Amino acid sequence: MSALDAQRSLVSLLITPLVVAAFSGVKGHGAWGFCTTSITERQGVVYLHTHLVDSPTAPDVTASYYHMISLPREALPAGDVTFALALTRHDYVNPTGIQRVLQTSEEETVTSVTRSLP
């Protein structure tokens, strides 16, 4: 490979988008909604802010939700980067036995992985 070919290969690597995925995990019924609402970066950690929303009607099927997200490589730092899944849960609860209400949790980081980027 010539020096010019190597340079072109490196440039294409640096501008190629990085694809990351966020998974909800297996849910016992198919009434959930799962979405990535924003992506932020703080001190070398890329946070995928997600919401997992329960529904008051629950079809009797097992489901696992995910989002695949393309991130521009130039927007990410080089070196070791931690990707963290920051999750907010929205669950329907029945505190009175009469009416189901939506209860929202505080956002929490539920998992993370560190990868070395060029």
Question: Per-domain residue ranges for the chain?
Answer: 3-117
* Nearest to 74, CA basis, from 8, 21, 11: 11
Measured distance CA(83)–CA(93) in Å, rounded: 31
Helices (H), ranges, 16-106 = none
* Chain Cα centroid distance, residue 19: 11
- Contact between residue 68 and residue 18 where contact means Cβ atoms under 8 Å apart: no
Q: What is the pTM of this model?
A: 0.68
Looking at residue 74, its pLDDT comes to 79
Tell me which residues of the chain have a pLDDT lower than 70. 1-17, 27-31, 56-59, 62, 95, 97, 99-101
